[in-house]
Amino acid sequence: MNETVHELIELGEEVATALSEHRPVVALESTVIAHGMAYPGNVETARAIEQAVRSAGAVPATIGIADGRFVVGMDDKRIEQFATTQGVPKVSSRDIGPVLAGGGLGATTVASSLVAADLAGIPVFSTAGIGGVHRGAQTTFDISADLVQFTRSRVAVVCAGAKSILDLGLTLEYLETLGVPVMGYRCDDFPAFYCRSSGFRNPQRIDDLDAIARALRAHWAAGLPGGALVTHPIAEADALDAQAMEEVIERALADADAEGVTGPAITPYLMKAVSRATEGRSAAANRAVLISTAAVAGELAVAYTRQAGVGGGEDR
């Protein structure tokens, strides 16, 4: 059956084989499946994301929690279960221990998926949108645990930035404070998920994935404890209009405030409100950017693996 790399990790067979043969693997989260999209689009999109990773030459490892362990490399049945089961808890860093011990299902966010990827020895992870500093965090203190986890898990996170439901300027400031590298792959600006630019610059721009892989190896060779962000924007043809998005987001934020929505519920609430207000256009963009990001992550995993043994950092 499945090989075990750690007592809390249940590896999918294909992932186990790939890791043992030092072939490229891309870790993926499951909150986006359980909370980020509606059924059956969530299942179809999860499969399309995995296909994009495969087409790039890497093996997808979708992560979640079940039966007291992290599942790293869900099969189709598991993905269907996460996509259809009501009330699967959203698991961030702080929730890992209690949910593992509880024995039920858990949908892992970026933060908790990174914990599992690190334990399994997978150095590349893909998601379209990371969590970040929320608008109004000056008074609410609402800052996603994703950002802190970037300083703890030695995993590169490929993303299309974050949704502008967040304060992306403050998010970049906070990443600077935490010492997390942010490298734009073929883009000057930190992307805003549905939109190609947040209006803020990536601190670095690197147009070659081999060079990004070398930067990751150097970061880790220097003994730095965390990971790094690699940003890549949505394709021009799939992008939504930034001004129109801003109006929709401001309305959704005002509604959330009026309804008293706070804490972990705020991100799913805002995403659903934005999706309703854009009448499905955001769902199409959501799908497109999840897939295009996964494709870049697959290529990065291939580049990173190719460099193994060439020097400039530990192999993993």
Positions that interact with ligand PSU (CB under 6 A): 29, 31-32, 36, 92, 109-111, 129, 131, 144-146, 163, 193, 264, 267, 271
Q: Which of residues 50-69 bind Mn ion (CB under 5 A)?
A: none
CB of residue 181 to ligand PSU, shortest distance in Å: 19
Minimal CB distance residue for Mn ion: 142
Catalytic residue among 10, 50, 80, 163: 163
287 closest CA partner among 299, 275, 270? 275
CB of residue 285 to ligand PSU, shortest distance in Å: 11
Residue 196 touches which of Mn ion, ligand PSU, none (CB < 5 to 8 A by kind)? none
Are 193 and 128 in contact, with CB atoms under 8 Å apart? yes
Residue 279 appears among annotated catalytic residues: no
What amino acid occupies position 53? Answer: V
Q: Which residue number, 283 or 308, has a Cβ lying nearer to ligand PSU?
A: 283
Burial of 81: CB neighbours in 10 Å, binned 0-12, 13-18, 19+: middle
What amino acid occupies position 147? Answer: L
CB of residue 190 to ligand PSU, shortest distance in Å: 14
Widest distance between CA atoms in the chain: 56
Are 197 and 189 in contact, with CB atoms under 8 Å apart? yes
Residue 163 appears among annotated catalytic residues: yes
Establish whether 241 is an annotated binding residue. Answer: no
Establish whether 95 is an annotated binding residue. Answer: no
Torsional sign, CA 286, 287, 290, 293: negative
Binding residues: 90, 110, 142, 144-146
Binding residues for Mn(2+): 142
